[in-house]
Amino acid sequence: MRIRIVDAFTDRPFAGNPAGVLLLDDVFPDDDWLQNVAMEVNHAETAFTHRLPEGGEADWALRWFTPVTEVAMCGHATLATAHVLHTTGAHEGPVRFATRSGVLIATPGADGSLTLDFPTAPLTPVDVPAGVAEALGAAPVAAFDTGPNVGDLLVELADEKTVLTLSPDHRALGAYSARGVIATARADDPSRGYDFVSRCFFPNVGIDEDPVTGSAHTALAPHWSARLGRDDLTGLQASRRTGLVRTGLRGERTLLTGFAVTVVDGELRA
């Protein structure tokens, strides 16, 4: 079958977050095979999708696997999957995905972008856990639980430079949430094209640092919209590859907009 590697939340190759994408014929193969393929691809996520019968609430079924486990929500691999469906002609217009996080919709824009409609993460303020500052290498000014779909500890840091220069103890960070830690700060200079910065560390799912994380922005959007007083923002995920995510807070839903580029189109023989 065909297998593609797509860089998501970027408009150029070798940036953003790479994801494997496989369009399956009908049903999902057994979980061991899906996990082995994801381990072989060895990117943060590999997405598997197949078409559903017409007339239902969704058009395609979608699952996501890291190299070590299946996850409940993934933004960049959903964007990558929608990109493949549209660029190959497998689907036209908005596409509805049936997932473990409910029905997620990806809508193509006239400029070639794609907008994901995801559930907004419920943020609950929590005390900064003991040891987080040492594991992260910086003292948070606030901390939040991001709920079951995202499963991260969100920590706000003093400024953009602090986020950019983090050198955390990844193993130690795994003790503080189901998936990992999102570190964020307000942008020093919004005229540079982004309103906030973030970095995401997910040791519990085999990803020390994720390049660009759509699901994390369902928590970052309400956090920064409340502080900055605007529903529509742009976040820079400041990994080595970097990527931009436009966010639109719409109450219980968050819109995530970005571009994607196919960099590998090959054949899976296993």
What CATH code is carried by the domain that includes residue 168?
A: 3.10.310.10
pLDDT band at 57 (very low <50, low <70, confident <90, very high): very high
Q: Determine the average pLDDT of the residues in 216-227.
A: 98
Give the model's confidence band at 127: pLDDT under 50 very low, under 70 low, under 90 confident, else very high. Answer: very high
How many domains is the chain partitioned into structurally? 2
Predicted local confidence at residue 201, as pLDDT: 97
Per cent of the chain over pLDDT 90 is 99
Q: Which residues contact 217 (CB under 8 A, 6 or more apart)?
A: 75, 198, 235, 245, 247, 254, 256
pLDDT tens digits, 21-51: 999 999 999 999 999 999 999 999 999 999 9
**Is there a single domain that holds both residue 110 and residue 141?**
no
Same-domain pairing of 229 and 137: yes
Q: Do 139 and 46 fall into the same domain?
A: no
Residue 130: its pLDDT value, please?
A: 97
CA dist 39 and 37 (Å) reads 5
CA distance 159 to 31: 42
Beta carbons of 19 and 44 less than 8 angstroms apart: yes
Q: What is residue 10's predicted lDDT score, i.e. its pLDDT?
A: 97
pLDDT band at 76 (very low <50, low <70, confident <90, very high): very high
Per-residue exposure over 71-108, b if at least 16 CB sit within 10 Å of its own CB, e if not: bbbbbbbbbbbbbbbbbeeebeeebbbbbebeebbbeb
Domain boundaries, position 246: 124-251
| DSSP single-letter state for residue 191 | G
Integer Cα distance of 102 and 2 in angstroms: 26
- The residues that are catalytic are 45
Mean model confidence pLDDT for the chain = 97
Same domain? For 109 and 168 the reply is no
Determine the average pLDDT of the residues in 162-178.
96
CA distances from 226 to 126, 184, 185, 214 (A): 17, 14, 13, 19
83 and 180 belong to one structural domain: no
Beta-sheet pairing, 124-126 with 102-108: unpaired
Q: Which residue has the tokens 């901390």?
A: 143
pLDDT tens for each residue of 237-246: 999 999 999 9
Say yes or no: 52 and 114 in one domain. Answer: yes
Same domain, 87 and 132: no
What would the pLDDT profile of 128-165 be if each residue is shown by its tens digit? 999 999 999 999 999 999 999 899 999 999 999 999 99
6 near 261, Cβ under 8 Å? yes
Are 86 and 155 in a shared domain? Answer: no
Instruction: HSE, CB side, 13 Å, CA atoms: give it for residue 9.
Output: 32
Helix (H/G/I), strand (E/B), else coil: 218: helix
Q: 15 and 61, same structural domain?
A: yes
Residue 30 CB partners (closer than 8 Å, separation 6+): none
pTM: 0.95
Same domain? For 262 and 153 the reply is no
pLDDT, residue 165, reads 98
- pLDDT band at residue 230 using 50, 70 and 90 as cut-offs: very high
Whether 13 and 85 share a structural domain: yes
pLDDT number for residue 158: 98
**pLDDT band, residue 256 (cuts 50/70/90):** very high
Domain shared by 89 and 146, yes or no: no
